[in-house]
Structure 1
């Protein structure tokens, strides 16, 4: 050891951590890299952009490796510190490596039990022979056990350094305590770059820490401890800036992707899978026949927040072009958030992976706490997922953490609702009862259905051992129907995910009650769409067809402030059975705040029917399908549709739009719009318009007698001609569509833009 090297942190320890990081990074990169996502080969997709954006891949690799190096440097220096204090000598390299390896194995075990879905590809597609290891861990070991081992190690580290400090009060012991606290601070906030700079600094300074006065160490120790308390302290101070404003209650739109209406109050073994929502609905107005306008997330939320149809504002799929998404937030298509901003509201969005739509368009949120989605972020995710030893630290299995790579917030397999509700509580604590709204969007129910431990066990069969044990892999190239046991497992996973969301909902509502906000708030529960779960021939998923009740029928409940005149309506008169639509939210809120409508909306204010059972007139609501991701399969909707290429062939990565994945070809966009199935329905009947190469086909179903839509009543039923007329009038009006025979011809985007 050189004369200028710190005896507690010799350079050799950093070298060992560097070699260790390089070895395991390359090892997992070689043996755990795959060109499949959920079993789908995306090799061609990667070739399309990795060649053109190779720099993105290099920067991604460097970023992930930097996190790995920082974390390993932390572990090795902590282990070396403890061993040095106890043994009074420099431990051999293999002792350090062995202890760090054991720590990482414990963290990996804890993470695999807590979030087995994150490791699903590794165990079910890359190395399926190892799956029994995962089965054993999740069946027989609680995550508390490895967490206890990690906790004891942490206590041992803290106990050692603080004991030495109290015993000796030397500069060396003060420096050791500060070192541990600084590393903890970096870890909690994911500041790996600052951490690497810090390591470089202490190795460069060597034993110069002996030149610092001991009183200075005392001051630094107090400052570091204050930094740990600063976030909570800052929220408390910041909350003093906000105060309650009469007539402007907080608004909470609490929602979950794919939450079906029929799952509210659904019972398994005699117990409801949504006990918290069941309790909430006693205080709320419930709309039992509520439908989304389009069963895909991006266009559905855009319809809900603008109050306009997708065929009007033109965001009709998950991959809108720059011209289309830039229309949102204009004077022609303002959102609820932008309108309420004018009367003093601030707006926030919180969500997990499916909430990546919120940063991708101007919805009017002041802050969005949700992941983004683009080719660069997907590259980070795929690179990080290869590093099995690193993942536990990236998803918070090692005492907080989870903030190193914000891109991992977009992992579809990370169904941890606690990280979302924690953000919700922070915002509520800061804003209290001031005018603001929070749009909360959970993705735990969206496929691949990923509730964390112990919820994935809640309703599933403990004796099922197959690739759907923890999640539903989605492979659009595989049209084979799962067997009976697999379908049962998938449905039980879905129910478990619904239960997990209900706990998130209960957590948030409980916190609002605890803070005294619940009674004075507007609280809305809804979903962007439902989910088909192999009912009849309907398949699994959403957006591909409009048959049945499962994909468009979603829950919708509103609780008004106790001071509102609507809360005077008796609780037994708060259930509305008439049909309603997701575009009704905009006119309802405009009506509540007495804001004059400057635009015509297709929806209706629901305030007029509060306390009623049904509409006085026969109301019809509209819906359409999303984009078809796959062009293969034997499903009925594949046979009924006008074909176009699958999404891997349609998309483009657009560097100018932050490497977003978009469908920019105007011919494809017009083909997608022309090919959509459309429906109009009232409380009794549903008519579906289906354009094919052989002509337009129609299906008419009795929703009450035939909820699975198996018996086509078209064209002989008396409602057939009336509903067809309503559908055509609706599309012609809101899309400025024209007719070619029975085909609806959408207006082009360029024509619409000229009229904005």
Structure 2
């Protein structure tokens, strides 16, 4: 060690950390890299834009490696500090490497038990021979065991540090405290670049920390402790800025992707899988026959928040073009957030991976606490996922980490809702009963159905050992039907995910009660769409077809403030059985706040039927399919549609739009719109319009007697002509479509002359 080297962080130690980081980074990059996402090979797709995207790959590699280097350097630094306090600073590099590797392995074991879904591809697609080890961990080892080992290491370290300071009270001891506190702050907030700069300063400054007075160290330690407490202190102080306003209650739209109506109150072994939602029903109006307008997340939320149909605002799939996105939040299609902004409301969105729609368009939120989705972020995720020893620190499973790469927030396999709840509680604590809205969107029920420990065990078969043990891998090109045991396991995963969301929901409601604002708040529970789970020939997923009740039928409940003028007492009828739709939300809230409608809306205010059981008139609601992701397969809907290319061939990465993935070709966009299946339904019947190359086909089903839609009543049923007329009139009105024979020809975006 040179004369000017820092005794607590010698160059030798940094070299060991660097070599260790390079070795494992390259090792996992070579042996754990895959162009398969959930079993779908996207290698050819990536090659299409590899050249133009090369800079993103380089920066991604540097970013992920920098995180790895910082974390490894922290571990080596802290272990070396421990040995130095034991007066064994000449410890062999092999011992240091072995201890760091051991700590990371225990962190990995704990993470694998908590979130086995994150490691699903590694164990089921890349190295399936290792799967029994994952089974052993999740079946027989509690996460408490590796946590105890890791906690013991931490306790030994801090015990030694406190003992050193107490016994010696030297500058070196106080510098060690500052060093540990700084590394802790960097780790908790994911400040890896600042951490690497700090290590560089240590190497540069050497032992000059000896020139700092002990009293100065004391002040620095106090300052650092304040930084640890700062988020909570700031939240408490900031809350004084906001106050309750009469007639402007906080509004909470609490939702889960893919939550089916029939799962609310479902009994398994005589016990409901949604106990917290069941309790909430006593305080809320429940609309039992509520349907989404389009069973895909982006267009469904756009319909819900604008109150207009996708066929009018043109957001009809998950990959809207720049021209289509600009229509959201325009003068013609304001969201309810933008409307309420004019009367003093602030708006927030909180969500996990499926909430990536909210940062991608102008929905009117002041802050969005949700991941984005674009090719750059996918690249970061795929690169980080190769580094299996790094993953536990990136997904918040050990020692308050998880802030290093915000892109990891969008992992579809990370079903832990704790991070969402933390953001929700912080906002509620700060804003209390002031005018604001929070749209909370959980993705734990969305495929691949990934509830964290212990929920993934709740309703699944403990004796099942196969690729669906922890999650449902999704391949839209695969139409093969799982066997009966696999279907049971997949349904068990789905029910377990529903239970996990119900626990989240219970925590959300408890937070509102703790802050004393539950009674005075508007609380809405709903979902963007449902999910088919191999009922009849319906397959698994959503958006491909409109048969059955599972895909469009979702829960919808509203709890109004006790102080409102509405009939909210327990004595009044709170169960409404008439058919309702997601575009009813905007008219309902505008009616509540007595905001006049500036244009015609297809939905209705539900305030007019509070206390009733059904509509006085025969109401019809509209729905349409989403985009088909694959153009192959033996699914029934593949045989019933106008074909267009696979989604991997259709979409483009648009660098000008932050590398978002879009379908920009106007010909394909018009083809997709033209090819959609459409439906109209009332409380008793559903008519489905199906354009094919051989002509338009119609299917009419009795929703009550035939909920799986197996017996086509068209054209002989008396309702056939009436419902066909209503469907055509609805589309011609709201899409300004035209007719060519029985085909509905959608209006093109280029044909719409509108000042947006």
Shorter-chain TM range is over 0.9
CA distance in 2, matches of 1:400, 1:477: 39
Task: Give the equivalent residue in structure 1 for 2:71.
Answer: 71
Mapping for residues 736-755 of structure 1, pairs under 5 Å: 736-754=736-754
Mapping for residues 85-100 of structure 1, pairs under 5 Å: 85-100=85-100
Task: Give the equivalent residue in structure 2 for 1:414.
Answer: 414
How far apart are residue 424 of structure 1 and its match? 0.3
Task: Give the equivalent residue in structure 1 for 2:299.
Answer: 299
How far apart are residue 511 of structure 1 and its match? 1.0
TM-score, normalising length: structure 1: 0.99
Query: Which sits farther off after the overlay, 619-628 or 162-171?
Result: 162-171
Alpha-carbon RMSD across the aligned residues, in angstroms, is 0.8
CA distance in 1, matches of 2:641, 2:600: 32
Task: Give the equivalent residue in structure 2 for 1:653.
Answer: 653
CA distance in 2, matches of 1:468, 1:570: 44
How far apart are residue 579 of structure 1 and its match? 0.1
Query: Which sits farther off after the overlay, 174-183 or 567-576?
Result: 567-576
Query: Which sits farther off after the overlay, 147-156 or 616-625?
Result: 147-156
Task: Give the equivalent residue in structure 2 for 1:680.
Answer: 680
Task: Give the equivalent residue in structure 1 for 2:198.
Answer: 198
Mapping for residues 449-598 of structure 1, pairs under 5 Å: 449-571=449-571, 573-598=573-598
How far apart are residue 153 of structure 1 and its match? 1.1
Matched, 1:342 2:342: yes
How far apart are residue 87 of structure 1 and its match? 3.0
Contact 1:348 1:366 in 2 (8 A): yes
Task: Give the equivalent residue in structure 2 for 1:163.
Answer: 163
CA distance in 2, matches of 1:49, 1:137: 40
Contact 2:80 2:89 in 1 (8 A): no
CA distance in 2, matches of 1:398, 1:61: 23
Mapping for residues 694-705 of structure 1, pairs under 5 Å: 694-705=694-705
Deviations 1:651-670 (A, max 9, x none): 00000000000000000000
Mapping for residues 33-52 of structure 1, pairs under 5 Å: 33-52=33-52
Contact 1:587 1:603 in 2 (8 A): yes
How far apart are residue 202 of structure 1 and its match? 1.0
How far apart are residue 45 of structure 1 and its match? 1.1
CA distance in 1, matches of 2:7, 2:748: 72
Mapping for residues 86-125 of structure 1, pairs under 5 Å: 86-125=86-125
CA distance in 2, matches of 1:168, 1:227: 26
Mapping for residues 248-287 of structure 1, pairs under 5 Å: 248-287=248-287
Task: Give the equivalent residue in structure 1 for 2:23.
Answer: 23
Structure 1 unaligned segments of length 5 or more: list them. none
Contact 1:374 1:658 in 2 (8 A): yes
Mapping for residues 580-729 of structure 1, pairs under 5 Å: 580-729=580-729
Mapping for residues 137-176 of structure 1, pairs under 5 Å: 137-176=137-176
C-alpha change, 1:539 and 1:571, in structure 2 (3 Å) is farther
Contact 2:588 2:604 in 1 (8 A): yes
How far apart are residue 5 of structure 1 and its match? 0.5
Task: Give the equivalent residue in structure 1 for 2:379.
Answer: 379
CA distance in 2, matches of 1:308, 1:656: 28
How far apart are residue 279 of structure 1 and its match? 0.2
Contact 2:189 2:401 in 1 (8 A): yes
How far apart are residue 753 of structure 1 and its match? 4.2
Secondary structure of residue in 2 paired with 1:671: helix
Task: Give the equivalent residue in structure 2 for 1:318.
Answer: 318
CA distance in 2, matches of 1:188, 1:35: 31
CA distance in 2, matches of 1:424, 1:350: 7
Deviations 1:130-175 (A, max 9, x none): 0000000000001111011111111222221121111111000000
Matched, 1:217 2:217: yes
Task: Give the equivalent residue in structure 1 for 2:184.
Answer: 184
Contact 1:560 1:567 in 2 (8 A): no
Contact 2:283 2:570 in 1 (8 A): no
Structure 2 unaligned segments of length 5 or more: list them. none
**Count of paired positions:** 756
CA distance in 2, matches of 1:265, 1:567: 25
Task: Give the equivalent residue in structure 1 for 2:3.
Answer: 3
CA distance in 2, matches of 1:621, 1:755: 29
Deviations 1:185-231 (A, max 9, x none): 00000000100001101111110000001110010010011100000
TM-score, normalising length: structure 2: 0.99
How far apart are residue 567 of structure 1 and its match? 4.3
How far apart are residue 571 of structure 1 and its match? 4.5
Task: Give the equivalent residue in structure 2 for 1:403.
Answer: 403
CA distance in 2, matches of 1:744, 1:550: 26
How far apart are residue 568 of structure 1 and its match? 3.8
How far apart are residue 8 of structure 1 and its match? 1.4
Contact 2:560 2:568 in 1 (8 A): no
How far apart are residue 755 of structure 1 and its match? 6.4
Contact 1:287 1:576 in 2 (8 A): yes
Contact 2:56 2:376 in 1 (8 A): yes
CA distance in 2, matches of 1:48, 1:79: 46
CA distance in 2, matches of 1:672, 1:163: 69
How far apart are residue 572 of structure 1 and its match? 5.2
Task: Give the equivalent residue in structure 2 for 1:437.
Answer: 437
CA distance in 2, matches of 1:567, 1:391: 51
Ranges of 4+ aligned residues in structure 1 off by more than 4 Å: 753-756
Secondary structure of residue in 2 paired with 1:566: coil
Task: Give the equivalent residue in structure 2 for 1:132.
Answer: 132
How far apart are residue 643 of structure 1 and its match? 0.2
Contact 1:283 1:571 in 2 (8 A): no
Query: Which sits farther off after the overlay, 558-567 or 103-112?
Result: 558-567
How far apart are residue 623 of structure 1 and its match? 0.1
